[in-house]
Amino acid sequence: MSRVADPGAPPAREACAIAAGDPPGAPAFHWPVLLWAVYLANVALQSRSLARVVVPALDEGVYLCAARLMADGLVPFRDFLLTHPPFLVAAAAAGLTATGGDVPLFSLLYVCWVFSALFPLAFVVRRLSGSAVLGVVAAAFLSLSPMFAGYDARYFALRQASLPFLLWGLSALLARRPVAAGLLLGLFSVGVATNAVLAVSTIAAFFLFGPAERGARRRDTGMATAALVVVLAAGVASVAAVPRGVESVIGFQLERPRSSLASRAEAFRLRALPQEAPLLLLGLTGALLVRGPARVLGWGHALALPLVLLGPRSFYPHYAVVFLPGLAGCASLLMQRIGSGDRWRALVASLAFLGGTAAISGPGVATGLFRGPTDGILRVIDVLRRSPEPILSYEPIYALHAGRRLTFHRHVADMRSLVFVRPNVSEAEFARLLRESGTVLVEPRFASLLTAGRRRALDAAFEPVFFEPPHAVLVRRDLLPGRKPPG
């Protein structure tokens, strides 16, 4: 039987757009193109300074040094100190191996991975709102977050590296693929221990508000929880099986002094609120106001937020970064509520609030993206490239960029941990490190631990070849050109 086309039906592209919840007259293919444009713009902006800006104060040096050691066959916990689960560091080790140890090239791969989270975020918002446009809006909100899109989006950090697993897991959960969801949320959880709180809260919110009838939600929740538990159990067992594994991950955290509630609030007020206020305000408002299955996103994050920020003994504002994609999604869903069901009003509200967010938060992102070259640090790295190995340094990122081997000791990847357990390496250990080193890099952290006696020992065996405050590079005298080793 032949079918007669309805002369009043919209064209196919427009029908697809309307079915997706987009404004009438907007071709459906525009929204994937816009999403890809947001992604590629982020990758291009984030990667422009990778070889020109090196920031020693970040955690990147700790994790990439640990990754380099793992790539060389050493076992974390047993052979060197690592105070986090090793799984994301192991992935970084694979990336460093693939790039031949080229840190800027590795960082480019890392940027592509971190911002791949924009795609499942857009899919989740589209599924919850019925609008592909709002999915792009959510990606734009997240791209304007200094905490997410700042330095840690291009310089390796565990929480940013874990985020694609969270969002793909949430997308799979809403798509009724519970086993895949549980596995992905498990991978998110084993990257950083506190991530498990958000994973469990997300599954619980799906059980309460998910887009299915109660019996189906109960089955999906059970399957997702079982898969999550399997991954978590495997992760815990693998850490416990390594000598000093539990001591390094759990014992170290217990040795840290507990941050008071007042200090946490003050740190958050000073370092997060000034630039993250728009996304926090819009996201938390959206989380409280959303209805129906959208509460999986809003309530899942709102329930876990105080536990993650207040539960651990230590606290830094960047702990909140794992919540920012969800808050960006809730902010975009709030635009739908503001529009009262009218798609064009929602679009206008989205553009207005994105503009306001860009005005307040945009400078925080741009400051890092358009920062000038760190010429002094690059000169240090260039000197290290031509200096004899191994290099003794308490900040490993310099040697990693120079492609040079570090003098090995248990704390080689994370000298910062000594702040919490003891003030310095022992005298005997320091003497051994000097004997085994060809070059010593004195930078602010090293200088802060350099006692008068250690300075004399350093001066007796090493000669400065580069000095530019706050850095000095010293080479062992018997390894200088024209010098013969004694005996």
Q: Rounded mean pLDDT of 433-452?
A: 93
Q: What is the pLDDT of residues 307-354, one digit of tens each?
A: 888 888 888 888 999 999 999 999 999 999 998 878 889 999 999 999
**How many residues make up the chain in this entry?**
487
In this prediction, residue 7 carries a pLDDT of 41
- Token readout for 388 is 């004899």
Looking at residue 484, what is its pLDDT? 52
Mean pLDDT is lowest, of 2-11, 144-153, 203-212, for: 2-11
What are 356-363's contacts with CB under 8 Å, separation 24+? 356/278, 357/141, 357/144, 357/278, 357/279, 357/282, 358/144, 360/275, 360/277, 360/278, 361/144, 361/145, 361/146, 361/275, 361/276, 361/277, 361/278, 361/279, 362/144, 363/275
Give 69-97 pLDDT, tens digit per residue. 999 999 999 999 999 999 999 999 999 99
Question: Percent of the chain having pLDDT more than 90?
Answer: 69
Q: Which residues contact 291 (CB under 8 A, 6 or more apart)?
A: none
Q: Six-digit token pair at 4?
A: 């007669």
Classified as helix, coil or strand, 443 is coil
Query: Which of 308, 415, 363, 381 is closest to 82 using CA atoms?
Result: 415
Residue 468 parent element (H or E) = strand 462-468
Q: Model's pTM, two decimal places?
A: 0.90
Would you place residue 422 in the very low, low, confident or very high pLDDT band (cuts 50, 70, 90)? low
pLDDT in tens, 473-484: 999 999 987 655
Helix, strand, coil proportions of the chain in percent (round to 5)? 65, 5, 30
pLDDT digits (tens, 9 = 90+) for 175-217: 999 999 999 999 999 999 999 999 999 999 999 998 878 899 9
Report yes or no: 427 and 91 within 8 Å, Cβ to Cβ: no
At 418 the pLDDT is 67
Closest CA to 333 of 36, 168, 135, 115: 135
Mean pLDDT for 276-297 is 92
Is 411 within 8 Å of 417 (Cβ atoms)? Answer: yes
Q: Which residues pair with 439 in a beta bridge?
A: 391, 475
- Alpha-carbon gap, residue 479 to 8, rounded angstroms: 86
Q: Which amino acid is at 345?
A: R
For the chain, domain boundaries? 22-369, 375-479
Per-residue confidence (pLDDT) for residue 419, from 0 to 100: 58
- Give the pLDDT confidence of 348-402 residue by residue, as tens digits: 999 999 999 999 999 999 988 998 899 999 999 999 999 999 999 999 999 999 9
